[in-house]
A and B are shown apart, each in its own frame.
Chain A
Amino acid sequence: MLERGLAPRIVVATVLCGIIGFGTARVVWKTVLRQAVVSFHEPLARYTYETYEKARCEAAPESWSMRLERGARAYAYDAATLASRNPQAPPLDRDAWRRVASGEQAPMAIVAHGRTLAAGGALVFRAADSGPCAIVQFTWPEQPLRRDSIVWVTLGAVLAAAAGAALGFFAVVRPLARRIREGTARLEQRRLDLQRHLADVAHDLKTPISSLHIALEQAIEANADAEVAALLSTALHDTVYLAALTSNLRLASEMREGWDPAASGADADLTDVVERVVARARFFARRKGVSLEAAVPDGPTRTRCDPIAAEQALSNVVQNAIAYGDRGGHVAVLLDAAGGEFRLSVADDGPGVPPSELPRLGERTFRSDEARQRDPRGSGLGLAITSEVCARCGWTLAFEREQPRGLRVTFRGACR
């Protein structure tokens, strides 16, 4: 399911968004509060002070203070020393001290105390140019939040996060997932159509390749000119390659469509498979001047794999060995079975493969573009199909160098 695993991510993302939102709200709230203190409370405090308290302060600055409800206090400070004559006064707020010392005249609100929304703070304004009552500071303490407020705020935050997550899921993720699913289904259908088309094309190609093959075979027989015969031989070898390519394309598209050679319900008799492959490849080998021999056990060698797929897998390796072999070279196919396992090897004394490329031969998958290229030693689609069939049928495929030259390809697997 496309949405699987998304729900916790959405919750986490929503909580993170909530935290960021909370931080932003706190900054905004402090700014607004500061502005409110300066715009409204400062004139009120100044008016109260100047009307009712200024004379009292100037009369006895060492004892003057104002006490308001809920812990709010006011003290006066000297313009020159920025200290209060009243020994009970707290020092001037540090931020305000710095600003007053630097000559700032405007009233200032400091809302910085505490960590909760019920922040304490200070309001500082200049009441006279000089003297012990020149600067007045109102302070109010942080008000502790009530427990039920905390519960409600937390619950509200959680519910808001859940609502946000649900909204995100149903309004965005679900429709998006549906669109992606529909798009994927369309692509999958297109891919299947293409595979089917490819399989049909591969099938349709066989008839013209077949007639071309026969025509070339007969043209070579009829042509006495060695040069022309050599050209025709090259063309004939190409038709052999084309025929193998179409078979491989068809098998590849069938496997991509989900067909499993190990679950086709038919067992392959490898003795029969080797005999069929060698019987057919012998004609190609003879044309190429390569000796092809095979040795099989007297009886059947059954294994769990579709016989057509097994035939194609072996045929690709044998055809490669012949195609890249030198005139006068040898190809040997050897099948033996012991202890419930079979070993099928194809050895040749052809040009072989550089040691650095040996591991890559087995690694290629039939999906790789590189594998489609026809490069020396046929390490293209054919070998990739062989690897794929081996993997699906539970066989191993090994490539080794033959001494003094050549390649040995060995299939191993379980007998039935």
Chain B
Amino acid sequence: MDSPTSPRVLVVEDDAATAAGVVRGLRAAGFDVELSTSGADAAHRIGVEAHDVVVLDLMLPEKDGFEVLERMRHRTSAPVIVLTARTDLADRLRAFELGAADFVAKPFWIEELVARIRSRLRLAPERPKRIVRWAGVSLDLDARTVLVDGRPAPLTPTEFAVLAFLAERPGRAVSRGVLSERALASLDEPDARTVDSHVARLRKKLGEGASAIVTVWGIGYRFDPGGEGA
């Protein structure tokens, strides 16, 4: 059952099999889903009913997706995720020009569509936190201090630079090369192995908080305070 606060998603798709799959998949993900199977119907519904997100196929009978996009442009503020078998750059650009928020090429993973809808539903992009706390560690990026279990951690400037560089890009893998260049810039000859040794010392000093610095195979490291895997 959808909760009363479930985000409302309008799916505009004429292919029955795809529509059924998308509706089912989005409902399973907790959305309140409505289906429209033609461009004319979608154009009519948009603006009359309130939706949080619109998932729009570009190839529609009667009115094609571009026309629907154009009509709804000034009638709703709901982000539109365009779904299409077309892969031309021109189509993609046209969709964006007409106000599409995102573009998903067919075939796609339902998980991918769900992830994109969720990312569109966020009220505002999160600003990078300047004070990051995890597993007993408190990192103040502005004051350039690190507390482990309430006590200042004895990080060297390089170790702090490595930690800060990673923490400013949470969830993003950073290569050893980039870390070496950007965080170890004060050293004479920075190299990838030096990065590893700095990270090893940094982890030791962070205690339990070391788990936030995840080794990424083939690349380098990622700051992941939530401990989520890839």
Chain B residue numbers with a CB within 8 Å of A297 are 178
Q: Mark B199-230, 1 if CB is under 8 A from A, else 0.
A: 00000000000000000111110100000011
B66-74, B81-89, B120-128, B135-143: which one contacts chain A? Answer: B81-89
The answer to whether B129 has its CB under 8 Å from any CB of chain A is: no
Q: Mark B141-174, 1 if CB is under 8 A from A, else 0.
A: 0000000000000000000000000000100111
The complex places the Cα of A211 from the Cα of B16 at a distance, in Å, of: 9
The answer to whether A28 has its CB under 8 Å from any CB of chain B is: no
Q: Are B18 and A264 in contact (CB under 8 A)?
A: no
The complex places the Cα of A296 from the Cα of B173 at a distance, in Å, of: 8
Chain A residue numbers with a CB within 8 Å of B22 are 214
Chain B residue numbers with a CB within 8 Å of A239 are 107
The chain B residue sitting closest to A349, CB to CB, is: B217
- Contact A293/B177 with A206-B106, A206-B107 known, Cβ cut-off 8 Å: no
The complex places the Cα of A250 from the Cα of B219 at a distance, in Å, of: 33
Q: Are A293 and B18 in contact (CB under 8 A)?
A: no
The chain B residue sitting closest to A298, CB to CB, is: B169
- Contact A211/B112 with A292-B230, A293-B222, A332-B218 known, Cβ cut-off 8 Å: no
The answer to whether A213 has its CB under 8 Å from any CB of chain B is: yes
Chain B residue numbers with a CB within 8 Å of A332 are 173, 216-219
Interface residues of A: mostly helix, strand, loop or mixed? helix
Most buried by B among A218, A239, A291, A293: A293
Interface residues of B: mostly helix, strand, loop or mixed? mixed
The complex places the Cα of A213 from the Cα of B109 at a distance, in Å, of: 7
Which of B20, B175, B230 contacts A336 (CB under 8 A)? B175
Chain B residue numbers with a CB within 8 Å of A308 are 87-89, 92
The chain B residue sitting closest to A268, CB to CB, is: B89
Chain A residue numbers with a CB within 8 Å of B175 are 295, 334, 336
Most buried by B among A283, A284, A295, A332: A295
- Give the total of A residues in contact with B, Cβ under 8 Å: 47
The complex places the Cα of A344 from the Cα of B214 at a distance, in Å, of: 22
Most buried by A among B59, B110, B222: B110
Q: Are A295 and B178 in contact (CB under 8 A)?
A: yes
Q: Are A307 and B109 in contact (CB under 8 A)?
A: no
Chain A residue numbers with a CB within 8 Å of B41 are none
Which of A215, A293, A336 contacts B17 (CB under 8 A)? A215
* CB of A415 to closest CB in B, whole Å: 16
* CB of A403 to closest CB in B, whole Å: 12
* CB of A230 to closest CB in B, whole Å: 18
Q: Are A203 and B85 in contact (CB under 8 A)?
A: yes
The complex places the Cα of A284 from the Cα of B110 at a distance, in Å, of: 11
Q: Are A218 and B25 in contact (CB under 8 A)?
A: yes
Chain A residue numbers with a CB within 8 Å of B174 are 295
Chain B residue numbers with a CB within 8 Å of A330 are 217-218
Which of A214, A250, A279, A282 contacts B25 (CB under 8 A)? A214
The complex places the Cα of A212 from the Cα of B107 at a distance, in Å, of: 9
The answer to whether A93 has its CB under 8 Å from any CB of chain B is: no
- 12 pairs across A/B with beta carbons < 8 Å? A206-B107, A212-B17, A213-B109, A217-B109, A283-B112, A293-B219, A294-B173, A295-B178, A295-B219, A330-B218, A332-B173, A334-B175
Add 13 more A-B contacts to A203-B86, A332-B217 (CB < 8 A).
A207-B15, A207-B85, A210-B15, A211-B18, A214-B22, A215-B21, A218-B28, A280-B112, A283-B111, A291-B217, A292-B230, A294-B173, A295-B216
3 A-B pairs with the lowest CB-CB distances in the bound complex, closest first:
A332-B218, A214-B21, A211-B17
